[in-house]
């Protein structure tokens, strides 16, 4: 699967965590007239498209807004599962929050800026992608308070595990 397709899949999942939908599965506005989870101009653009009845275009614009915002963490991880977790954290807590989660997970000094040392440590740890996702879960779990947060995080980790590549170990195939 190419990077553009993965980017689209990841953004769609993140949007689906936030979005409210009608019975036909179309995006809906909240009581304030905004699209839940979207901010600023992107929210207004999607709201205009929904009001005009362009539901497919609204969905595409909302997905692209999520993808564009979370592109800030692209290149931090090479593993697609870890990238998805970082995109979700970035969407929830911003790029600095994603960097802090990586630093906590790797046991580094938490500054919110992921330098070359942090990137190198993450690249070394990526061979154990599920362990990194679990460490990110633990570091991210500090801020999770509601049942909805934990439910979302459970979905995020399941998706991350499914996106992480499978590696050959011995005679069989084992998820790393």
Q: How does pLDDT run across 36-46, given as a tens digit for each residue?
A: 888 888 889 99
Using the predicted structure, report yes or no on whether residue 171 has a pLDDT greater than 50.
no
Q: What tokens does 119 get?
A: 């990137």
Instruction: Work out the average pLDDT over 160-174.
Output: 58
Q: How does residue 64 score in pLDDT terms, banded at 50, 70 and 90?
A: very high
What phi and psi, each to the nearest 5 degrees, are found at residue 36?
A: -55, 130
Using the predicted structure, report yes or no on whether residue 105 has a pLDDT greater than 70.
yes
Quote the pTM value: 0.84
Choose the weakest-confidence range: 17-26, 51-60, 141-150: 141-150
Please give the DSSP secondary-structure letter assigned to residue 38.
-
Q: What is the pLDDT of residue 143?
A: 60
């Amino acid at each position: 699967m190419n990077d553009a397709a993965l980017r689209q899949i990841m953004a769609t999942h993140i949007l689906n965590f936030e979005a409210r939908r009608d019975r036909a599965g179309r995006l809906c506005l909240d009581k304030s007239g905004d699209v839940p989870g979207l901010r600023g101009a992107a929210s207004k653009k999607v709201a205009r498209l929904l009001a005009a009845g362009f539901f497919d275009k609204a969905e595409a614009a909302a997905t692209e807004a999520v993808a564009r915002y979370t592109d800030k963490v692209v290149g931090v991880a090479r593993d697609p599962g870890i990238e998805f977790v970082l995109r979700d954290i970035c969407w929830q807590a911003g790029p600095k929050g994603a960097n802090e989660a990586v630093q906590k997970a790797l046991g580094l000094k938490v500054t919110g800026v992921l330098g070359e040392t942090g990137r190198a440590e993450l690249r070394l740890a990526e061979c154990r992608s599920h362990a990194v996702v679990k460490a990110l879960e633990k570091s991210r779990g500090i801020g999770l308070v509601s049942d909805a947060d934990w439910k979302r995080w459970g979905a995020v980790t399941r998706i991350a595990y499914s996106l992480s590549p499978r590696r050959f170990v011995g005679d069989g195939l084992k998820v790393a």
